[in-house]
Amino acid sequence: MTGLYLLFVAALWLFIAMFLTKLITTKLPKKWWGIPLRIILFLVLLPLPLADEIIGRQQFEQLCKEQGEVIVDATNIKGKTVWFAGSQRTQIKLGGIHVTQTKVNMVDANTQELIYHYYRLEANGGLFMSFIGVSEGGKPLLFGGFCQPKNIERINAELGLTEINRPISNNEKTK
């Protein structure tokens, strides 16, 4: 159903872009450059609703490159046991795209010392997707909108660590 709705909206925008192109260029004198100008204007208007995602994609991919590595915070970590110690979320705005940056922390199970951390990035759809209200779980239309380090499933083995689940404390049991 969402696909049909998006197809309808795309067809509607195609019609609007053609109408605006004709409306703007009708007032111009009939010269040889009229048709090329219409084509250029139409090609400029066509992707306009998705411009924030087109630009945001490049910025998101750059951010993913910058934060795409696991950062080891401690020395002599081989053989240690670690667990997930929580995360901190930050909102980043890339034009019309909102990105949630989650810092994931892994600590030594015995000393609570930070062993390593990494960032997970999740982008929401742009202004157009918000406007039409079909943002398929909040994801962008033109790109995946998610990244984290590629080796995250193997990182504990690569670093010589053992990961365990953090035990539930009595305070957490009573909630």
pLDDT tens over the chain, length 175 residues: 567 877 888 888 899 999 999 888 888 777 888 788 889 999 999 888 888 888 889 999 999 999 999 999 988 899 999 999 999 999 999 877 889 999 999 999 999 999 999 999 999 887 777 777 654 547 888 888 999 999 888 999 989 998 988 887 655 555 5
d(CA 72, CA 118): 9
Nearest to 9 by CA among 17, 21, 51, 52: 17
The single residue listed with the structure tokens 């994931």 is 104
User: Would you call 110 helix, strand, or coil by DSSP?
Assistant: coil
User: Would you call 102 helix, strand, or coil by DSSP?
Assistant: strand
Burial status of residue 93 (CB atoms within 10 A of its CB: 0-12, 13-18, 19 or more): exposed
Strands 71-72 and 146-147: unpaired
**Cα 81 to the chain's mean position, in Å?**
32
Whether this prediction's pTM lies above 0.85 is answered by no
